[in-house]
């Protein structure tokens, strides 16, 4: 199977061309966000406040990178278990989120929201955070600074290897 080279700016329009099991090398801007940051994003949405990044066409990576060692833009940044973000994902997808990166299965509501919104769930390799960090060219902490490694960061990635876990046609690599 060939690898598909994609830029995050293309995800919104190209999600429909992706199918469960496709191998993707993703480049572009991604925002890290885990449990605590997702709770805060939801609070901002509920109160009508501005979010720290644009959801429409955006891509969230469920990761809490460690501090950067000398000479690197980021420390280890492997994916966290995506299911912990399931309570928040449908709302973010309905507000324009194009893609999520993580590991593990998603619940039915998330799968339905992916299909409804023409989005995609991409899976990264768990346990390979040091290797994932090699795909990160730039990292900037942009919100919720008090959360430490779980703060929201804008990262620039290049050829980050991923597998399409759930596509917008209802396809999945997981048992159903």
Active site positions, annotated: 38
Q: How long a stretch of residues is the chain?
A: 176
Token reading at 8: 């995050």
Token pair 């995506």 is found at 82
């Amino acid at each position: 199977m060939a690898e598909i080279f994609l830029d995050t700016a293309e995800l919104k329009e190209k999600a429909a061309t992706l199918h469960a099991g496709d191998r993707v090398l993703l480049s572009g801007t991604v925002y890290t966000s885990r449990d605590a940051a997702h709770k805060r994003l939801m609070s901002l949405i509920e109160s009508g406040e501005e979010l720290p990044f644009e959801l429409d066409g955006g891509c969230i990576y469920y990761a809490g990178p460690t501090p950067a060692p000398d000479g690197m833009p980021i420390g280890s940044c492997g994916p966290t278990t995506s299911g912990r973000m399931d309570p928040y994902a449908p709302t973010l997808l309905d507000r324009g989120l194009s893609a999520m990166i993580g590991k593990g299965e998603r619940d039915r509501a998330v799968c339905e929201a992916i299909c409804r919104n023409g989005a995609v769930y991409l899976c990264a390799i768990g346990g390979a955070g040091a290797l994932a960090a090699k795909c990160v060219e730039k990292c900037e902490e942009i919100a919720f600074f008090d959360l430490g490694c779980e703060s929201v960061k804008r990262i620039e990635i290049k050829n980050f290897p991923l597998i399409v876990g759930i596509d917008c046609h209802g396809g999945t690599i997981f048992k159903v």
